[in-house]
Chain A
């Protein structure tokens, strides 16, 4: 399977714990996005990388959230001191831009990590 892969698929944690999610994009894709989706809502943008550089962050991404994409390959999203309001599906998407300025919004999503904070 050459699609976007996310791990784990499900995560249950207690309030106050730290959690980390991993995303492996489609191999040739240089852009990687994190979105969050709650029940009955569309995905909401969190952050995006062009190769290893984090270029944009949403106001939704509080100081407790951090994302990395070392060497422009896989990415991790860490949530520290989780709160019940963090419960959501965390979606990763990737895309291919042939130039840094290219507009390419054909995003390919993974199946997401469902986080439940008790």
Chain B
């Protein structure tokens, strides 16, 4: 079992839909949880950054962390065609300089 599991999709939704993206993990030491967006032939771009359990909202994006279930989610409200990209979850145990562990990424396509 990999440390971080993420359904690769692809996921196709119509414009305006609510999108739910998820990752599960096995390492209970993970404390920092991130979501990155990656457009084709580009590097990942940080979208959301959360520490420990709870919710964080930023515009149309909401990140949720449930450490008891080792499960994190990213919700996108009112999805737009410009949201079409690969979404990568990433996490770390918070030791200085420790590498981020990434999921495989979920490819999202939003049609107009």
The answer, yes or no, to whether B46 is at the interface (CB within 8 Å) is yes
* Residues in chain B near residue A101, CB distance under 8 A: 96
Binding site for A on B (CB under 8 A): 4, 6, 8, 32, 34, 36, 41-46, 49, 88, 90, 92, 94-105
Within the complex, what minimum Cβ distance (angstroms) separates B56 from chain A? Answer: 13
Q: How far is the CB of B109 from chain A (nearest CB, A)?
A: 16
Is A72's beta carbon under 8 Å from chain B? Answer: no
Contacting residue for B43 out of A41, A55, A111, CB 8 A: A111
Q: A42-B88, A42-B90, A42-B105 are in contact. Are A91 and B44 (CB under 8 A)?
A: yes
Residue pair B42, A105 in contact (C-beta under 8 Å): no
Q: Which residues from chain B contact A33 at a C-beta distance below 8 Å? A: 99
Contact of A105 among B8, B32, B41 (CB under 8 A): B32
**Is there contact, CB below 8 Å, between B102 and A43?**
yes
Whether A111 lies near B41 (C-beta < 8 A) is yes
| B100 CB to nearest A CB, Å | 6
Q: How far is the CA of A112 from the CA of B40 in the complex (A)?
A: 11
Chain A hits for B46, CB < 8 A: 106-108
Taking CB atoms, residues of chain A closer than 8 Å to B4 are: 42
B24 to chain A, nearest CB (A): 14
- Given contacts A42-B102, A112-B41, 11 further A-B pairs with CB under 8 A are A45-B100, A45-B101, A93-B43, A97-B96, A101-B96, A103-B32, A103-B94, A106-B46, A109-B36, A111-B41, A112-B43
A45 to B99, CA, bound (A): 6
Inter-chain CA distance A22–B96, complex, in Å, is 24
